[in-house]
């Protein structure tokens, strides 16, 4: 029976062309994601190399006693900068997620965090407006349509064509025949989905590692649960009353509701309950806090110089000036930290509400799991920002200690500059985080199958009576 069903599937042109179209679109989306990622990586690599070259040059000059290189103030507030780069995770090219909301690298100095925050630029506005054409988008949107095309008439069509009647006359159970047909088509859909994921990783990933294999397994598992849900939903629709056209219309409405309308409604609810933190508003608040703190620090600096007119020239003035600048930056950092914390708190509340509401839509649940697997979700971006702020505090402390103590920088000091470590991106840990999404999809599919089992048992009892009549 399975072989016969596979033979029937091969003779249905709309399924073959639909599968080929899905694979083609997945390849295009993976290539698009790879090109975007390579462009960002090239920019980050160039900025990182420039920063390293500058530090190496200053280290050599410090060894020769160059005043600019040995002055901790001159280095901290102008000559030296640190470029921090977010680690590119396996599978990131397949799900852009929220990585387009901010740059994947930042250039930091010893000045306050706002200076680096304002300098980091997100992707272009047009891409943010229309979204990203990535593999996650293609699979979440189009896989259900392929499943609907394969399952919309799995019961009603067999009944209309008289196949179920022939099965009953031949002494076979209609339910067993339909379960075999459903299982065959479900497995075929899952195989096509796995092929799509494998093709996406081949096109989108530059190298293959152990994490790549785990990513393939994780994506395939999540999408298999997604296919299982839609196959179970299609069967549940078919065991009800109505003809094939009616079932196709119901399944199309289900796709429209679960894939488009509900995710849009979730975004609308979240936007009303927790409006997205405005970066423009945050920048304005940070600028205002910076200017206020800077004015206060400038008054203290002018007062200090007024009280020490003897330090108006020479090395003492330079040292005193950099100490005052360091004090000013401390004041500014303390002033803007509450705004940055409030921004992150608001963003975290928004993510939590979105994650709770995502269970209303299998499409949103699946997309969330895919972005988690690719480390492009909001939590991963927040982890990078937190790591960047922690590194900035260590970078600032390194120079401020030397400014306050009037300690000249040496060649060895440049080698001891703080190093940034991007948050880890383990595919295995990401799979554990996405496991809940997979379990929820699978459980919903099982419940639908149990409902279908009850209805198909009733069908076994009804069909012989209809044939006898």
Check pLDDT > 60 for residue 464: no
**Range among 111-115, 244-248, 252-256, 315-319 rated most confident:** 252-256
- Of 42-51, 120-129, 154-163, 215-224, which gets the smallest average pLDDT? 120-129
Residues in the chain: 469
Q: Who contacts 421 (Cβ-Cβ below 8 Å, separation ≥6)?
A: 387
| Mean pLDDT in residue range 436-447 | 94
pLDDT tens-digit profile of 385-401? 888 888 988 999 999 99
pLDDT band at 125 (very low <50, low <70, confident <90, very high): very low
pLDDT tens-digit profile of 88-119? 888 888 988 766 666 778 888 888 766 555 54
Q: DSSP assignment, residue 79?
A: I
| Mean pLDDT in residue range 456-467 | 59
pLDDT tens-digit profile of 146-169? 999 988 888 777 777 776 666 665
Whole-angstrom Cα distance, residue 310 to residue 312? 6
**Range among 30-39, 280-289, 318-327 rated most confident:** 30-39
What backbone phi and psi angles, to 5 degrees, belong to 85? -125, 135
pTM: 0.84
| Contact in structure between 189 and 226 (CB atoms under 8 Å) | no
Write 402-409 long-range contacts (CB < 8 A, 24+).
402/72, 403/72, 403/73, 403/76, 403/322, 403/323, 403/326, 404/323, 404/326, 406/319, 407/72, 408/70, 408/71, 408/72, 409/62, 409/69, 409/70, 409/71, 409/72, 409/75
For the residues of 342-386, what is the DSSP string, one character each?
A: HHHHHHHHHHHHHHHHGGG-HHHHHHHHHHHHTT-SHHHHHHHHH
Question: How many CB atoms are located within 10 Å of the residue 436 CB?
Answer: 15
Check pLDDT > 90 for residue 191: yes
Whole-angstrom Cα distance, residue 469 to residue 464? 8
pLDDT of residue 260: 93
DSSP H helical ranges for 172-313: 174-204, 210-238, 244-255, 262-273, 279-307
| Contact in structure between 73 and 325 (CB atoms under 8 Å) | yes
Query: Which position has the token pair 């119901």?
Result: 250
| Mean pLDDT in residue range 124-153 | 79
Burial of 223 by CB count in 10 Å (0-12 exposed, 13-18 middle, 19+ buried)? buried
pLDDT of residue 382: 83
Mean pLDDT, rounded, of the chain = 81
pLDDT of residue 306: 56
Check pLDDT > 60 for residue 369: yes
Query: 171: phi > 0 → left, psi -120 to 50 → alpha, else beta; which?
Result: left
pLDDT of residue 121: 47
| Mean pLDDT in residue range 34-44 | 87
Indicate the SS3 state at residue 266.
Answer: helix
Return the bridge partners of 106, or none.
84
Give the burial string for 171-182 (b: 16+ CB within 10 Å, else e): eeebbebbbebb
pLDDT tens-digit profile of 340-350? 787 778 878 88
Integer Rg of the chain from CA: 30
Whole-angstrom Cα distance, residue 88 to residue 94? 12
pLDDT of residue 404: 87
Whole-angstrom Cα distance, residue 273 to residue 294? 35
pLDDT of residue 186: 93
Nearest in space to 383 (alpha carbons), one of 152, 99, 90: 99
Name the percent of the chain lying above pLDDT 70.
78
Name the percent of the chain lying above pLDDT 90.
29
Return the bridge partners of 83, or none.
107
- Of 133-137, 254-258, 348-352, 465-469, which gets the smallest average pLDDT? 465-469
Check pLDDT > 50 for residue 337: yes
| Mean pLDDT in residue range 319-325 | 77
pLDDT of residue 29: 92
pLDDT of residue 223: 95
Return the bridge partners of 107, or none.
83
Give the burial string for 59-75 (b: 16+ CB within 10 Å, else e): bebbeeeeeebbbbbbb
Whole-angstrom Cα distance, residue 67 to residue 60? 12
């Amino acid at each position: 029976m399975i072989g016969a069903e596979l033979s029937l599937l091969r003779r249905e042109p709309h399924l073959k062309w639909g599968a080929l179209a899905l694979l083609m679109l997945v390849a295009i989306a993976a290539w698009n994601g790879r090109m975007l990622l390579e462009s960002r990586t090239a920019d980050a690599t160039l900025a990182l190399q420039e920063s390293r070259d500058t530090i190496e040059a200053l280290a050599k000059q410090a060894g020769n006693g160059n005043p600019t290189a040995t002055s901790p103030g001159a280095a901290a507030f102008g000559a030296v900068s640190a470029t921090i780069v977010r680690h590119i995770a396996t599978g990131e090219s397949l799900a852009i997620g929220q990585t387009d909301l901010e740059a994947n690298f930042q250039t930091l100095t010893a000045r306050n965090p706002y200076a680096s925050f304002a300098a980091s630029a997100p992707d272009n506005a047009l891409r943010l407006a229309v979204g990203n054409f990535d593999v996650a988008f293609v699979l979440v949107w189009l896989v259900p349509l392929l499943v609907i095309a394969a399952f919309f008439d799995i019961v009603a069509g067999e009944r209309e064509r008289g196949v179920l009647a022939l099965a009953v006359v031949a002494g076979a159970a209609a339910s067993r025949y339909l379960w075999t047909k459903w299982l065959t088509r479900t497995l075929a859909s899952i195989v096509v989905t796995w092929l799509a994921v494998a093709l996406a990783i081949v096109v989108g990933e530059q190298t293959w590692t152990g994490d790549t294999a785990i990513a393939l397994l994780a994506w395939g598992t999540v999408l298999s649960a997604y296919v299982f849900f839609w196959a179970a939903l299609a069967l549940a629709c078919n065991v009800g009353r109505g003809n094939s056209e009616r079932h196709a219309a119901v399944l199309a409405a289900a796709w429209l509701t679960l894939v488009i309308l509900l995710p849009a409604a979730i975004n609308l609810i979240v936007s009303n309950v927790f409006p997205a933190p405005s970066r423009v508003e945050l920048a304005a608040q940070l600028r205002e806090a910076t200017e206020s703190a800077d004015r206060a620090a400038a008054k203290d600096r002018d007062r200090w110089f007024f009280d020490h007119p003897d330090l108006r020239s020479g090395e003492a003035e330079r040292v005193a000036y950099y100490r005052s600048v360091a004090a000013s930056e401390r004041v500014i950092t303390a002033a803007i930290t509450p705004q940055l914390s409030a921004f992150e708190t608001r963003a975290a509340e928004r993510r939590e509400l979105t994650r709770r509401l995502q269970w209303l839509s299998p499409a949103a649940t699946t997309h969330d799991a895919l972005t988690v697997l690719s480390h492009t979700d909001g939590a991963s971006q927040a982890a990078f920002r937190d790591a960047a702020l922690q590194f900035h505090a260590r970078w600032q402390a390194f120079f401020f200690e030397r400014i306050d103590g009037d300690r000249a920088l040496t060649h060895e000091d440049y080698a001891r500059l703080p190093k940034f470590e991007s948050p880890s991106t383990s595919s295995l840990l990401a799979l554990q985080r996405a496991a809940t999404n997979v379990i929820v999809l699978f459980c919903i599919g099982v419940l639908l199958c149990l409902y279908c089992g009850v209805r198909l048992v009733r069908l076994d009892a009804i069909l012989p009576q209809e044939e006898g009549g």
